[in-house]
Every structure is written in C-alpha cells, then in structure tokens.
Structure 1
Amino acid sequence: MHLLLVLAHPLEDSFAAAVARTAKETLEAGGHSVDMLDLYREGFDPRLTESERRSQYTVPYDGSAVEDLVARLRAAEGLIFVFPQWWFNFPAILKGFFDRVFAPGVAFDHDPDGGRIVPKLGNIKLFWALTTTGSPWWIVHLYMGNPVRRILRRGIAAFCAKGVDFRMMNLYDMDRNTDAKRKAHLQRIRLALSKI
C-alpha cells in the first residue's frame, strides 16, 4: 500500500516527530511505500487564498497553488496523520491542509441539487490519526466529547471517502507522561501499523 504520512508539529525533536519516524519505519519494514509530508519542514502555508475561497462552488476549483499536494493525496491509498491536539483541535497548519487540499473536485464534489457532498477520494482505503493530548482521557472524552475524533471520522473521512479503515490512537496526558509511557505508546503504534 502507498501511504501519505502527514506530520504537523513545528519541532523536529518533538514526540510527534518520533511517532512519525516510528510509523514510517514500521510501514516500510512491512513492505509499504511511504510519502512523508512534514508540513512545517516543507513550508506549507495554511492560509486559504482568495482565489481558493472564491472558487469553492465553481467548477473547476482553483487548487493551482497546492496542485503538488493534491497529486500526492491522489496517489495515496492510505492516510496517516501525526499531530498534537492543541485546545482540543488540530494545529492550525493541519487545519489549513484540510481547508486547502481536501477541496471541492479533489476530496469531494458538491451535490448539484444542494444536498450532501459526494465523496471523491475513492483511492483512500485507510485513514488513521496518531495524536497526543495534554489532557487526561476523561477530559477529552467525557468533558469535551472527543471533538478531533468526531471531526476526522464523521466529517473529513466520511465525507471524502467511503468505507475507509478509520483508527485514532491517542497518548493522553502527554504533559505528565513518563519516558516509559512514551516508549510503550511507540510500541503500540509499531504493533498496530505492522498489522496493516
């Protein structure tokens, strides 16, 4: 399987970067090909352009500024996103990636009758997120309702691809975790990815 692995963290020595490296190594050891997209290292601009916004409901959508990223998305059979959850949400750079690259005509089409959007990423069979949160499990799930999971699963994955293998693996309470807990989490990631 050919996977697009998207990393969204500004620090090269972050735990998220270690997760991305672990994921890439594990997948490649399993015979998969991995296109590593480090949004910060590649200088991705998350700001939606005026032309992109104005063309949201026109055909064709003006995705010329991100056509290389669209090509990488279309070449993928699976997506793995690695990022921290900040304020119970995506880092801004990842939100901008979804806004600009998961665009009309690429990830979905508008229903001409004004109904549901029509998924267009038939090439995507797997949609995983490997994340961390500073909060403990109970705050993310019970108090906040796990907003990132809902957006990814019910919004982005469901609206852009049909029947994907969706999975989200979180390391909770990141700010208080020990080195041993982080290593154990990396091992859980290795084990899960080795089964793909």
Structure 2
Amino acid sequence: MSDRRHFLIVLAHPLETSFAASVAAAARETLEANGHSVDLLDLYREDFDPRLSPAERAGYFDSPYDLSGVAEIVTRLRAADGLVLVFPQWWFNFPAILKGFFDRILAPGVAFTHDQAGGRIIPELTNIKTLWALTSTGSPWWLVHFYMGNPVRRLLKRGIANFCSKSLNFRMLTLHDMDRATPARLEAHIVRVRRALSAI
C-alpha cells in the first residue's frame, strides 16, 4: 500500500440512488480500506449553490479575493491531498452544479493567482497531488472520442489540472453507453473503479 493520503470526493448527481452515488460509495470504501481518509462532499445533499454571486464576480481580481461565501468548502479542499470527482456527463459536459463548484471553489487564491503582468494564471492548488474523474455518459465511446473530441477529459486535463496544479496524477475512468448498460456491466465498472483506486 502507498502512503496514506486525505481525499475529497465530490459527488454531483441529484438522485441518492444514482449509479454515480454507487461509484462514489465504492470509491470511498476502497480508499478507506487502503488506509486513506476520505471527506465526501455531496453537492446536492449539502445544498451547494453553484451560482457565482455578483459580489464574487465583481471582486474576481481583488487581492485578496473574498472567499467568505464558500469558506467551509475551500477549507475542505485545502485539507485534501487528492480530489476525486464523481459525476455523469450530460450533453457532453459537466452537470451544472459541478461547473458551479469549479467557478466558485477553484477561485483566485485557492486554485490559482493572477499574474500581475497580465495574461497567465499561476497554479496554487499545490496540495492536490491526485485528480481523478469517475464518470459516465449515455453516448458510446466512438461518439465521445471521435465526434466530440472527449471535451470533458480535455477540460479537466488541459484546463483544470494543468492550470491549477503541477505534476499531479490525473486519470479519468468513464462508463460509456450508460443508457444501455446491463446490471452486469454496471457491476463490472464498479469493480474496475475499485481495482484502479486500490493502486493509489
């Protein structure tokens, strides 16, 4: 077993009985069984407001940026060594509540700072060494990759991972063709998730 770490699992699905919830539970159980500690942030159950407020947007370039509206979640993110995102892909994109998590929590002074010379942003999410996405999509593999260009993976890897941290372990595990998945295939994906996380 590798060194013990603290993971923040962020679940973004409105239904408590969803497959995403099952994946999040399996991820939590697997990480804890391997000696890691886990904080589960269920965005719907914790009634997270994804809307960037007028004050937050108006002060986006202030230094320091006012994090008072999301301070509790920011504290939980800063305490983590790893971030595991669990969500379905809808319209080849993130659920709105997860996009709001990015907008409000991956804020200036948390995930990055503005380069005063202009243009660039400087990564600040240095505590996060692992960023995994456990996701599903109703579309088949070929449509996501060849027709759409796998937009969710691109945004996570090239955008959030590269702009907010350095040299982190990024991985994305996706169940494709979710709408036609049999119970056996759903269970096989849970096994795949457990096996992958056991190697962390």
Shift of 1:116: 1.4
TM-score w.r.t. the length of structure 2 is 0.97
Shift of 1:58: 1.0
Give the corresponding residue for 1:105: 109
Deviation string, structure 1 residues 8-58 (Cα, Å, up to 9, x no partner): 000000000000000000000000000000000000000000111011111
Of 178, 184, 190 in structure 1, the residue corresponding to residue 182 of structure 2 is: 178
Q: What pairs up with 1:87-106 in 2 under 5 angstroms? A: 87-106=91-110
SS in structure 2 of the partner of residue 36 of structure 1: strand
Of 40, 43, 55 in structure 2, the residue corresponding to residue 39 of structure 1 is: 43
Q: What pairs up with 1:45-84 in 2 under 5 angstroms? A: 45-84=49-88
SS in structure 2 of the partner of residue 37 of structure 1: strand
Which amino acid is 2:57 matched to?
A: R
Shift of 1:60: 1.2
Identity rate, percent:
68
Give the corresponding residue for 2:144: 140
**Cα distance in 1 for residues equivalent to 2:184 and 2:21:** 17
Unmatched tracts of structure 1, length 5 or more? none
Q: CA RMSD in A?
A: 0.5
Query: Across the two proteins, how many residue pairs are aligned to each other?
Result: 196
Give the corresponding residue for 1:15: 19
**Cα distance in 2 for residues equivalent to 1:118 and 1:66:** 21
Unmatched tracts of structure 2, length 5 or more? none
SS in structure 2 of the partner of residue 35 of structure 1: strand
Of 103, 127, 131 in structure 2, the residue corresponding to residue 127 of structure 1 is: 131
